[in-house]
């Protein structure tokens, strides 16, 4: 567990399900993803399955409980022969933004990466998510990589 000022970061727990679902729905809404309870339940199942690659941390503040979540997984980096940590999703409730929860979550992932001998903690964000980028620019190095998505070919 990590404490950053008044923020406690810890692994997601079974007892966190209701609040996690609320935050994950807000995250999906923020990125204009369609409402889909099957997706929410599937991801919860992944996070509760110790054999699944996806893991989660939550950030709590005194008096407010869980205010942020971070989903992550390890990924192989063949070009460097190393393994990194990929931060898939990071979300702080709107009322708690600017109070250090996201910074604390990223800091905890950096600690995990260091303890495990990982080579990097990496993530992407939307080009227009300027508020998040203002934080990210203080805790990480912006890269010059451009992201592409190719649709699967079926049949």
> For 48, how many CA atoms within 13 A lie in the half-sphere containing its CB?
13
Per-domain residue ranges for the chain? 2-139
Instruction: Report the distance separating Cα 9 and Cα 106, nearest Å.
Output: 10
Per-residue confidence of the chain (155 residues) as pLDDT tens digits? 554 558 999 999 999 999 999 999 999 999 999 999 999 999 999 999 999 999 999 999 988 999 999 999 999 999 999 999 999 999 999 999 999 999 999 999 999 999 999 999 999 999 999 999 999 999 999 999 999 999 999 98
Distance of CA 148 to the CA centre of its chain: 20
**Unique residue bearing structure tokens 């609040």:** 19
Q: Which residue, among 52, 103, 46, 95, has the nearest Cα to 74 in the 3D structure? A: 52
DSSP string, 106-130: HHHHHHHHHHHT-S-EE----TT-H
pLDDT confidence of residue 63: 87
CATH number for region 2-139: 3.40.630.30
DSSP 1-50: -EEETTEEEEE--GGGHHHHHHHHHHHHHHTTPPP-HHHHHHHHHHHH-T
Q: What is the pTM of this model?
A: 0.93
* Crossing angle (nearest 10°) for helices 37-48 and 17-30: 130
Which helix (H) or strand (E) covers residue 71, if one does? strand 65-77
pLDDT of residue 2: 54
């Amino acid at each position: 567990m990590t404490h950053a000022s008044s923020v406690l970061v810890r692994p997601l727990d079974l007892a966190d399900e209701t609040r996690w679902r609320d935050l994950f729905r807000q995250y999906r809404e923020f990125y204009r993803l369609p409402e889909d309870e099957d997706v929410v339940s599937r991801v919860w199942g992944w996070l509760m399955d110790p054999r699944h690659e996806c893991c989660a941390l939550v950030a709590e503040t005194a008096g407010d409980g869980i205010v942020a979540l971070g989903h992550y997984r390890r990924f192989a980096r063949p070009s460097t022969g190393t393994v990194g940590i990929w931060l898939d999703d990071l979300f702080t409730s709107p009322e708690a933004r600017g109070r250090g929860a996201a910074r604390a979550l990223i800091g905890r992932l950096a600690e995990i990466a260091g303890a495990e001998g990982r080579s990097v903690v990496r993530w992407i964000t939307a080009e227009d998510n300027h508020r998040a980028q203002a934080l990210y620019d203080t805790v990480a190095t912006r890269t010059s990589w451009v992201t592409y998505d190719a649709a699967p070919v079926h049949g």
